[in-house]
């Protein structure tokens, strides 16, 4: 599994995690948020999914990495949102396992879901938030879901 760092290029998952752990342990007195968010867009008969991993050093900047996947065109918005959420949960569980292995088990992940109280996705909020919370993660929706609506969205086009 590969991720892309805007500053370091293509990295294996293990390399990305080593970079994240080094970033956190490099300034251990700071507070951190680790965020996973996904977004998708259908272009020319294919749906492009981007899953982003963001490490936010609160008040002092952030780093992010993203993974792109292409899928046959998904026509249903519901199916698209559920697939985005499942990709976030998959990456979230891998990141959690790696952080725990590095002695950072106190760091709790947030999953940012690309749904909100306005627009077509409002009817899906309960279900996808339930999926995320039921998997043991904190869920954020728009407008607080910047991991999905800003970072991942930037790379779907």
pLDDT at residue number 138 = 97
> Would you say residue 1 has pLDDT above 90?
no
Residue 139: the pLDDT is 98
Query: Mean pLDDT over residues 21-45, rounded?
Result: 96
Residues whose CB is less than 8 angstroms from the CB of residue 130 and which lie 6 or more positions away in sequence, other chains included: none
| Contact between residue 88 and residue 38 where contact means Cβ atoms under 8 Å apart | yes
- Tell which residue, 93, 91, 104, 108, has the closest CA to residue 20: 104
Q: Report pLDDT for 157.
A: 78
The residue-averaged pLDDT of 108-130 equals: 96
CA–CA distance, 26 with 130 (Å, rounded to integer): 35
φ and ψ at residue 40, rounded to 5 degrees? -145, 160
Give whole-number Cα distances, 145 to 19, 116, 120, in Å. 24, 9, 16
Q: Which segments of the chain are extended strands (E)? A: 2-5, 9-12, 32-43, 46-57, 62-72, 109-112, 138-140
Closest CA to 85 of 113, 106, 43, 121: 113
pLDDT of 106: 93
User: Average pLDDT, stretch 23-48?
Assistant: 96
Question: ∠ CA 72-140-25 to the nearest 5 degrees?
Answer: 100
User: Would strands 32-43 and 9-12 be described as parallel, antiparallel, or unpaired?
Assistant: unpaired
Which pLDDT tens digit goes with each residue over 45-100? Answer: 999 999 999 999 999 999 999 999 999 999 999 999 999 999 999 999 999 999 99
Is the pTM of the predicted complex or chain greater than 0.85? Answer: yes
């Amino acid at each position: 599994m590969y991720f892309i760092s805007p500053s370091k290029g293509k990295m294996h998952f293990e390399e990305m995690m080593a970079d994240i752990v080094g970033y956190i342990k490099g300034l251990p007195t700071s507070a951190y948020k680790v965020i996973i968010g996904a977004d998708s867009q259908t272009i020319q008969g294919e749906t492009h999914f981007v899953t982003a991993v963001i490490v936010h050093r609160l008040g002092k900047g952030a780093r992010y990495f993203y993974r792109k996947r292409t899928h046959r065109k998904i026509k249903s918005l519901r199916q698209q949102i559920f697939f985005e959420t499942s990709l976030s949960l998959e990456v979230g569980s891998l990141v959690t396992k790696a952080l725990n292995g590095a002695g950072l088990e106190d760091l709790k992940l947030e999953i940012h879901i690309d749904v909100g109280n306005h627009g077509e996705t409002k009817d899906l909020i309960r279900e996808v938030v339930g999926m995320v919370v039921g998997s043991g993660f904190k869920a954020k929706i728009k407008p607080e879901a910047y991991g999905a609506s800003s970072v991942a969205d930037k790379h779907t086009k």
